[in-house]
Amino acid sequence: MLVVGSGMAGLIAAITAASRGKSVRLAARGAGHLAVGNGCVDVLGYVDGEIVRGNPVDSISRLSGDHPYRRIGAETVAESLAFFARLCAENGFDLAGGNGENQWIPTALGSFKPTWFYTPAMNRETLSMADRIVITHMPWLKDCHADMVKACLARQRRLMSKDMYIEETAPFRAHRNLTPLAAARFVDTEAGERWLLSQLLQCLQRSSSGRRTAVLLPPILGVTRSAEIRARLSEALDADLIEMASPPPGVGGLRIRRTLLRAAAGVGVTVMENAHVVEARVQGQRCVSLVCDATGGEREVKADSFIIATGGFLNGGLVAAPGGKVCEAIFGHALPAPERTEDWTMPDMLDSQPYAKLGVQTNTRLNPITPEGDALPDNVYFAGRTLAGYDFVNEKSGMGVAIATGYHAGMNC
Amino acid sequence: MNMNVRIPQPDRCIACATCVAVCPVAQNCPDFPGPRMMGPARQRFRLMGMGEDEASHYCANCKNCDIACPGDVPVSAFIMRAKAEICKKNFPKLRDWILAHGEVLAHCLRFIPAVFKNFGMTFAPARLLLDAIGIARKASLPNFAPQAFRARLARLAQPNLSRAVVFFPGCFVDTYEPESGLDIVAVLNRAGYKVIVPGTTDDSGAFVCCGLPMVANGFWQDARDNARRNLKTLAAWAAKGMPILTACPSCALMIGKDYAEYFPALIAPGQSSSLVDVCDFLIGCVERGELALPAAPQKVETVFYHAPCHSRALGIGLPGLDLLREIPGIQAEYADSGCCGISGSYGFKKDKYPIAMRVGAPLFEAMRQSGATLCASECGTCRVQMRHGGGKQTVHPVSVLRRYLG
């Protein structure tokens, strides 16, 4: 079978299908959205603007009937999340959360966002338990604003009584364009780890001591050895190290992508990189092959079944044309959309946006269907953001839908 | 507006920085600001005629940025064009001219016996001299073959076969590794195809260097001249409906993709300038029943396979690995360890050698960990780097096949 797309949905679909003994090829155009993410897995943070309490899977029943979670069912969603957690554990990726309720993790702005799985270094509980919070100030690093972080933290009821300090650190090298990714890569080396330890020791010495200290950092605790580095530094400093989720390039997303690629190779998935799928060959109710635009001309890839996880407008899975028209990029199915493009957006930027919910409509097996409900090719399955019916930004559900629908497609194909 | 002059627009880039995350040079050389900054981001300034960042020389043109980009931004092409502009103003070093013009150099030195040429490349004082002009003393330079591939093919009696293919040898096989080329000819003969190398096996115009090393070293005009000559030869053979094969993924990428990207005005409307990967072609031969593979031998041999970045960039999967997996009795082990670091001539440069070795370190480690004694990869300079860093015998996948065909 052939999977198109190497973001979270495509990788999970490929791994699921290959684990069932299928021979799986994955066609990738670009490295997928996963590589720029912050490494958290949001399952469901809000329903209609209201905060989700308790296990997010239990709130699926409150979503509208055409939401991908409702299509595949809450039970499958729970199963897929357990599969993902197992996959991470088996491949040595340290994952926290996934039980009780959503965790609110700190962002690089000092605000908090709800998420389901995260790295242990993002745990806010350690922040609440600390007496003193040291915010490392790295003015030489992009997207790092300690004053704003402190101001935002001080507004939190559970944190306002804490002693908070901003401690400036010296850069590991002089350059005008240092990102957390560059810092994380440096910290992965022995010299880098020593540098960070000495900087943090100085930070802690300068601020008055507390019984329990939490240190807030951008995500710079290494890319490949993050768990061991964090454990060693925490012990040496006698403090909890907490990473803030930060904008791209995503250190956390890269850590997950490495893990999933390793898992995919382990179950025999072969990856065809730089393959731009442009067309489908369909006979009756079956798709026979997909056509790639490769160097040297068209290349036809045949398979028994196909999973399409090509992303939304941003990654080219959905294409918008003048006149309020939207279509799926490979099969070219016209998708229902408001006729007037003015109706695609809401005046308030923070509202749920109608365009965000545009996409491919499917049956419960994730086969595409026409607006009238008739099945299109029944050996084709859609997963991830290409699907209609959810606004991942507003709901905080992006990676969750990708895992759940990728898993479901991989199980059904 | 002149539609023939196409200036690539950087605005498809949304600055997601995925390319920065995957760039092997950015991972191993903190002085390189990364492909996003050097490519589309700086392009906006270039279009306005504003200053240039000299760091573009760090780009190895390995194309991992293009492979990773979710938005079809021609990232590496922006950087190569910028490098060319810099080289227009400041003529590149002698060292870069030498590395860019291997074919010309080999032609000039053709009457000097290989033994003397190779002595010059291993003899310590000679290496010090090369080091002084910027070719790393520790680098393992490939040896000149006593006779070039094309010279040997011209004297080879191929069987009389009804079908034929055209073969684009590429400079590496021609100058340094004719054995790989002859292995390919033998296997294609076995599959029922006579191999034509224009200007060698007939009197038509010969292929020249694809021009990739020239682009990578800033000699844009020289590359354009070569592209024009090759396109003319390719068009003549394509008109005869003949498949045109190559064993070098970099030549395939340069001719099949980059010519149109770099020199759009040279491509005639409707002209396809593509080369077919020889491994891909041979898999087709096996599927069509033209090439019979021997029964599995008693002993299973493990072959360690590394995918060149330029193979991955072709968008055709990994036919080299697929071909190895077709051979009965071969257990192909996929390295999956990223770039080897050499990037053509990049890793031979004194200032780039340490970067190239750091980039290749995970691959070298994987080679050492592997139980295989034989390694395979399609790219000539990848093979040089793998022997140098990993210390194991490394050949083209088709050479592995030839051994099994006997």
Where residue B224 falls among pLDDT bands split at 50, 70, 90? very high
A236 touches chain B (CB under 8 A): no
Using alpha carbons only, give the angle A266, A271, A273 rounded to the nearest 5 degrees. Answer: 145
Among the partner-chain residues B14, B31, B68, the one whose CB lies closest to the CB of A31 is: B68
Query: How long is chain B?
Result: 406
Query: What is the overall mean pLDDT for chain B?
Result: 91
Task: State the DSSP code for A78.
Answer: H
Interface A–B counts its CB contacts (< 8 A) at 108
Which single residue is written with the structure tokens 């996959």?
Answer: A87
CA distances from A44 to A41, A101, A110 (A): 9, 10, 21
Among the partner-chain residues A33, A249, A295, the one whose CB lies closest to the CB of B20 is: A249
Name residues of chain A where pLDDT drops below 70.
207-210
Cis? peptide before B178, omega within 30° of 0: no
**Contact status, residue A133 vs residue A164, Cβ threshold 8 Å:** yes
Pick from B12, B13, B14, B16 the residue to mutate for testing the A interface (most A CBs within 10 Å). B16
B23 exposure class (CB count in 10 Å sphere: 0-12, 13-18, 19+):
buried
SS3 B31: coil
Contacting residues of A for B272, CB less than 8 Å apart: 297
Could you tell me the end-to-end alpha-carbon distance of chain B, in angstroms, rounded to an integer?
Answer: 60
CATH 1.10.1060.10-classified regions of chain B = 10-89
A297 touches chain B (CB under 8 A): yes
| Closest chain B residue to the Cα of A26, Cα to Cα | B317
Among the partner-chain residues B17, B253, B275, the one whose CB lies closest to the CB of A249 is: B17
Determine the Cα–Cα distance for residues A84 and A34; give it in Å rounded to an integer: 14
Phi–psi pair at A60, nearest 5 degrees: -60, -35
Identify which has the larger pLDDT, B385 or A139.
Answer: B385
Q: What is the pLDDT of residue A307?
A: 98
Which residue type does A108 have?
Answer: A
Q: What is the pLDDT of residue B298?
A: 81
CATH architecture of B10-89: Orthogonal Bundle (1.10)
In order of their start, the domains of chain A are 2-95+254-412 (3.50.50.60), 108-245 (3.40.50)
Minimum distance, in Å, between the CA of residue A57 and any CA atom of chain B: 31
**Contact status, residue A338 vs residue A346, Cβ threshold 8 Å:** no
Determine the Cα–Cα distance for residues A70 and A268; give it in Å rounded to an integer: 31
| Closest chain A residue to the Cα of B34, Cα to Cα | A177
Which residue type does B134 have?
Answer: G
CATH 3.40.50-classified regions of chain B = 293-405
Q: What is the pLDDT of residue B8?
A: 65
What value does the mean pLDDT take over residues B220-244? 94
| Closest chain A residue to the Cα of B253, Cα to Cα | A295
pLDDT tens sequence across A177-204: 788 888 998 999 999 999 999 999 998 8
Residue contact B21–A35, C-beta within 8 A: yes
Residue contact A181–B317, C-beta within 8 A: no
Q: What is the pTM of this model?
A: 0.91
Torsion angle of the four alpha carbons B368, B338, A232, A117, in this order, in degrees rounded to the nearest 10: -130
Determine the Cα–Cα distance for residues B253 and B315; give it in Å rounded to an integer: 10
Contacting residues of B for A273, CB less than 8 Å apart: 67, 312-313, 315
Does residue B2 surpass a pLDDT of 50? no
Residue contact A274–B20, C-beta within 8 A: no
Percentage of residues of chain B with pLDDT beyond 90: 73
Q: What is the pLDDT of residue B199?
A: 86
Q: SS3 for A134-150, per residue?
A: EEEECCCECCCCHHHHH
**Contact status, residue A223 vs residue A119, Cβ threshold 8 Å:** no
Contacting residues of B for A249, CB less than 8 Å apart: 16-18, 20-21
Residue contact B276–A296, C-beta within 8 A: yes
Count of beta carbons in the 10 Å neighbourhood of residue A386: 27
Minimum distance, in Å, between the CA of residue B20 and any CA atom of chain A: 7
Q: Residues with Cβ < 8 Å from A191, sequence gap 6 or more? A: none
The H-or-E segment that residue B238 falls in is helix B220-239
The fold of the B293-405 domain, in CATH, is Rossmann fold (3.40.50)
Determine the Cα–Cα distance for residues A275 and A258; give it in Å rounded to an integer: 20
SS3 B130: helix
